[in-house]
Structure 1
Amino acid sequence: MSLADNIFIAMCKDILENGVSTEGEKVRPKWEDGSYAYTIKKFGVVNRYDLSKEFPAMTLRRTALKSCVDELLWIWQKKSNNINDLNSHIWDSWADENGSIGKAYGYQFSIKHKYKEGEMDQVDRVIYDLKNNPYSRRIITNLYVHQDLHEMNLYPCAYSMTFNVTKNKENDKLVLNGILNQRSNDILAANNWNVCQYAVLIHMLAQICDFEVGELIHVIADAHIYDRHIPIIRELIERPTYEAPTFWMNPEIKDFYQFKPEDFELRNYQHGPKVEHIPVAV
């Protein structure tokens, strides 16, 4: 069993056994048939993944790494808010007739801000500080910009990264760690997807800065399982598990903006069958 499987199974059992139902309460999401999408939820779930030991792709079912990376690059590298720059259709429900999702996600990363070192957007500021001020306690991104929320077609779910550099005492190499803050997480549809994305991000930034990878800490304010996902989750967490796959990233890439989805692979990835026809609440 991989660490990611172990964490996922324990989290799901905790939510199902100890979570609180929103049934009958005022909720925003609805199913395609118009009925309200209720959840069982836990507040303040914190999961830790040691990226130096294994890549956190679950094996209960396959996590599509290249699609994960494509969305990550759409936000962090292309800094786009238009689904026409994305190869998958996961954002189609939130896009307007021109393909825009409003002033959300990549749009916020495209904005330059004034610093004493000059004008930079948030991504370039992270890279600058990791290379020039690695022990800074201020290496943070934020997508939850209140003044623009009314122009976002979906409020950011994964809204903040905090980066922190430590040192490997055995070889004196700098180690990159990150905290992903998420206001809301659909455990079946998005949990391992988000974990894999931000694990990849830490690997990318570590490589371009000549750091080692350390921990990814995933902090979820509202960790929930939708009512129609409960039987799927119950079946999923009873499946056989396998050893974690081997993560490969093109070692030749030293510029954050040169990475492409094909520069990443999960090798020796054994996993369970695909979960078909997951209903999505919008």
Structure 2
Amino acid sequence: MSYADQVFKKMCQDVLENGTDTKDEIVRPIWEDTGEKAYTIKQFGVVNRYDLRKEFPALTLRRTALKSAMDEILWIYQKKSNNIKDLHSHIWDEWADENGSIGTCYGYVIGQEDMRKGEMIDQMDFVLKELKRNPYSRRIMTNMYIPQYLDGGHLEPCCFLVMYNVTKDKNGANVLNMSVIQRSQDILAANNWNVCQYAILLMMVAQCVDMIPGVMVHYINDAHIYDRHVPMIKELLTREEYPAPHVSLNPDVKDFYAFTTDDLIVENYQHGPQIKNIPIAV
């Protein structure tokens, strides 16, 4: 059965049984339909580990839209865009202005150039070049939580820090690993979406630098289940699990900036029914 399902169920059970209820706290999010405060049950410091050499971490309890998840990753790290007109889904519509911009956040920050190694280079270009010329460095990362850009952004990034680390397998081949640091996460709406999109990012980068995609460590500082989501989570916990799908990339693409969602190959994805009309706190 899918390892991602097992991790998800264990995490949700821990939050529900051992988490902190925020109903007596001052909270920022509200439910858009009523304007009422959106309270959560939360757990601090959740860490999950996925080894892409064993299987792709897609949830089978319900379907994760893998091509849409990849599209958002391309929007941030490849297009380096902050405009929803460059994105095919409507995830960020609530935060965009009349021109489609979400301000100085996400892709805008990744695309900001600075002086590195004696050349003007942006964050993603730095990762790609450094993995080729200095792969065992412990300083290869991207960071979207930069104070000078926060005031101009329409929202603060959730998954904000990605660190890359190269190890070797038993045959001496380079294995590319990734740590994803997330300040806050709506578990029902976003957990497996974030897991899958960063797994795809790891696969893309590894393919472009001729490495094997390895372990992805996902750290969530504030992992929470919203009050309206609790019945949906409990129903998910009763569902049947299926084997993980086989997910791969078009092997002919070696340039990170040439990938499209058409290059994502998803095979044998069995899953339970989708949960429709999930309310989102804003």
TM over 0.5: yes
Matches within 5 A, 1:199-278: 199-278=199-278
Separation in structure 1 between the aligned mates of residue 117 and residue 177 of structure 2, nearest angstrom: 25
- CA deviation digits over 1:89-138, x for unaligned, max 9? 01000101110001000000111110133111000000011001000000
Counterpart secondary structure, 1:151: coil
- CA deviation digits over 1:148-203, x for unaligned, max 9? 1111111000000010000012x211000000000001100000000000000110
What is aligned with 2:51? 50
Q: Number of residue pairs matched?
A: 281
Give the conservation status (yes or no) of the 8 Å contact 1:65–1:265: no
What is aligned with 2:65? 64
Matches within 5 A, 1:28-177: 28-32=28-32, 33-169=34-170, 171-177=171-177
Separation in structure 2 between the aligned mates of residue 239 and residue 272 of structure 1, nearest angstrom: 7
The residue identity in structure 1 corresponding to 2:83 is N
In structure 1, stretches of 5+ residues that fail to align are none
What is aligned with 2:3? 3
Separation in structure 2 between the aligned mates of residue 178 and residue 116 of structure 1, nearest angstrom: 22
The residue identity in structure 1 corresponding to 2:148 is Q
Separation in structure 1 between the aligned mates of residue 152 and residue 235 of structure 2, nearest angstrom: 39
Counterpart secondary structure, 2:126: helix
Alpha-carbon shift at residue 25 of structure 1 (Å) = 1.1
Counterpart secondary structure, 1:228: helix
The residue identity in structure 2 corresponding to 1:206 is A
The residue identity in structure 2 corresponding to 1:69 is M
In structure 2, stretches of 5+ residues that fail to align are none
What is aligned with 2:192? 192
Separation in structure 1 between the aligned mates of residue 36 and residue 152 of structure 2, nearest angstrom: 26
- CA deviation digits over 1:191-225, x for unaligned, max 9? 00000000001100110111011100000000000
Counterpart secondary structure, 2:156: coil
- CA deviation digits over 1:220-274, x for unaligned, max 9? 0000000000000000111001000001210000000000011102200000001
Separation in structure 2 between the aligned mates of residue 237 and residue 272 of structure 1, nearest angstrom: 12
Give the conservation status (yes or no) of the 8 Å contact 2:61–2:236: yes
Counterpart secondary structure, 2:8: helix
Counterpart secondary structure, 1:229: helix
Alpha-carbon shift at residue 35 of structure 1 (Å) = 0.2
Counterpart secondary structure, 2:135: coil
Counterpart secondary structure, 1:175: strand
Moved over 3 A (4+): none
What is aligned with 1:178? 178
Separation in structure 2 between the aligned mates of residue 110 and residue 214 of structure 1, nearest angstrom: 26
The residue identity in structure 1 corresponding to 2:43 is K
Instruction: State, as a whole percentage, how many aligned pairs show the same letter.
Output: 60
